Amino acid sequence: MKRRVVSLFSGAGGMDFGSHAAGFNTVMALDNFAASTETFKQHFPETDVITQDIYTFNSSKKNPYPSAEVLTGGYPCQSFSMGGLRDPANDDRSNLFLGFADAVNKIKPRVFIAENVSGLAKLQNGEWFKKQLHVYTHELGVKYRVYWKTLNAADYGVPQMRKRVIIVGVRSDVDGDFEFPEQTHTKSEWAKKKKLLPYTSHGEAIKHLPPHPSGEYYERPHDPEGNFSWYFMSRNRRHRWDKPAFTVVANFRHVTLHPASPVMELEWSNLADGWKQKWRFTDEYDHLEFGAAFPRLDPPRRLSWREAAAIQTFPAHFNPTGDLAKKFEQIGNAVPPLLMQKIMEQVKILL
């Protein structure tokens, strides 16, 4: 019998694709973003999917949740993200974890798993992170042993450098300690020495997809600045074919470049004056050393949504609903399914 999962802030189902791959079953999913819940319904037709904010749902009745052994949730992270305003005190999303904690009290799962950006543990000397840990360890109606760790998805075979804080609570009557999955991948130059696999190449992960997927990536038509704004060109947006990708982001304007685009080089830098830089494209295409069959992308382009989904390790049949911006928002906000699978396999040992 498969263990039951309730998924909050479920998005397009990144955590749930991973949970199902590990042998669990999501019985209920909740999110306030209609495009995400529509995507979820299409890929998990047997799950009860609800479009509503968590506070309204929690107050709808004494206990609106089904029974479940596991509760998961990746509550919004924009107020803690390096790419956001980083002003959690003035952002209502900063306290959404309290809605998650209320759900823990109502469901009383044997295990809960919360995910957030790595900046959560660092921002304002970690005060917001400590606040969350205090609630989970001291203010719940049932006692939980709480474990946390910052994981890099690339360390587990995901073709992307993506660091996230994972918080795991184990109900006090459950025997055994939770152990985070052991690292399986590392930098290629360290792999043999550490007896690990080299990081997964994001070029290899997407080379089967078409080189010119019209309508699947963001462009700036008829803009005098060209296809890439000054802000986009203020940093290196391209990683090598044979390396993991940079973090897949939720904003389709800032998604990084396909590795078959030309190499970028630093034109000038003035970091002392507001972190200003300017990068430019060269005539070099170093992907040909690793993916010679893939054509040179001239002009260069951003990753397509299908490529971003593959880098996130969504299954090949994954197709998010909505326009291009909403597709990228769902993909970029997701927990990589492969990373979640590794975590849930460790949870399975306890259950």
Measured distance CA(53)–CA(30) in Å, rounded = 8
Distance CA 302, CA 41 (A): 29
Single out the catalytic residue among 5, 77, 121, 233.
77
Q: Which of 73, 59, 70 is nearest to 23 (CA)?
A: 70
User: Are the CB atoms for 81 and 88 separated by under 8 Å?
Assistant: no
3-state secondary structure of 28: strand
Cis bond leading into 299, ω under 30°?
yes
CB atoms within 10 A of CB 155: 21
CA–CA distance, 142 with 173 (Å, rounded to integer): 10
- Locate tokens 């020495």: which residue? 193
Tokens of 87: 């002003």
- 33 included as an active-site residue: no
Strands (E), 118-270: 144-152, 163-171, 185-186, 197-198, 264-270
Q: Which residues are catalytic?
A: 77
